[in-house]
Amino acid sequence: MESSDQLAQPSCLAKLSHGQGAVSPCRRTESRPAMISSRFISIVMPCYQQAAFLEESVRSVLDQQGVDLELLVMDPGSTDGSRKLLQRLKEDYGESLQLSFEPDDGQADAVNRGLSLARGNILGWLNSDDRLRPGALRQIVEYLNISEPRWLYGRCGIIDEHGRQISPCIVWYKNIRGRNFSFNKFLTEDFVPQMATFWNRSMWHAAGPLDKSRHLAMDYDLFLRFAEIADPAVSKEYFADFRVHKTAKSSLRVKEHLDEAFLTVCKHAAALGWRGRLALLLHRIYAVRTRLIYRLMKP
């Protein structure tokens, strides 16, 4: 892993300066502590019917070394054994694992609810079928432990349902696209890996919560709003793995995802004149190519 002073702004890869029993669902109550440390990390995990991958995902967060953190799992009603599994994991991890079993209005709402309960100054979300790489969170603390809005992303592998690394060509391409950042390039294609992206509370407050009307490209919209405030820092290290399996939304709803991403770009490109129109054209071209690749290479 890179040290935090090796995280680089995409416009130049020079060093950055830094600033300083039964489980009760967690609820938004006055007894819920406020942020306890500017270095404390909160990860939110929306969860629904993912028992096959849930334990690995939870442990990938809570077994991170060298950081103070909490994981907030938001399960609105799984019936596949996820809740029983979470209760068992709660016995292992205690207060580091916070559980909410309240209903929600979808994934974006679940993440928003979780982040409203989070105590950390450093934030992120991990879906319950993905996983963090060991040591990932230790690398982000120093850069994000600051009062000004900041965000960063690293690299992400792709794994199958058994946790084996797959699709090296797609990973390589994503790494090439994401090795440096510009807002106009980001409009042409979503190359920022959601599960390997983190931000501080100031950025979250400045950008606002996830758009609950978006069900597939909510992270793209959020990160475009982040980018309108500040460019991210970019790490060449792998922070997470994205899991591809037959029941994943990304595998089942590729066309819908790409269509929603295009509408998202339309919103953010509207005020950019010819540059915005060019970005929309390129986004369409990249989307056609991506759909063909997904058809050939994904479940």
The DSSP line for 89-147 is HHHHHGGGEEEE----SSHHHHHHHHHHH---SEEEE--TT-EEPTTTGGGTHHHH-SS
pLDDT of residue 205: 98
pLDDT band with cut points at 50, 70 and 90 for residue 245: confident
- Please determine, for residue 281, whether its predicted confidence score (pLDDT) is greater than 70: yes
- Please determine, for residue 21, whether its predicted confidence score (pLDDT) is greater than 60: no
pLDDT of residue 17: 32
Report yes or no: 74 and 47 within 8 Å, Cβ to Cβ: yes
Q: In what order do the strands lie in the sheet with 197-200?
A: 97-100, 69-74, 41-46, 122-125, 197-200, 151-159, 233-243, 131-132
pLDDT of residue 11: 36
pLDDT band with cut points at 50, 70 and 90 for residue 116: very high
- Please determine, for residue 158, whether its predicted confidence score (pLDDT) is greater than 60: yes
Mean pLDDT of 134-162: 97
Report yes or no: 268 and 217 within 8 Å, Cβ to Cβ: no
Mean pLDDT of 207-212: 97
Mean pLDDT of 2-28: 39
CB atoms within 10 A of CB 85: 17
pLDDT of residue 8: 54
Dihedral over Cα of 223, 225, 226, 228: its sign: positive
pLDDT band with cut points at 50, 70 and 90 for residue 68: very high
Which of the two residues, 31 and 59, has the higher pLDDT score? 59
pLDDT of residue 234: 98
pLDDT band with cut points at 50, 70 and 90 for residue 250: low
Q: Which of 80, 63, 7, 66 is nearest to 234 (CA)?
A: 7
pLDDT of residue 5: 43
Mean pLDDT of 189-196: 97
pLDDT of residue 297: 61
* Averaged pLDDT score across all residues of the chain: 88
Calpha distance 266→236 (Å, rounded): 29
Mean pLDDT of 139-160: 97
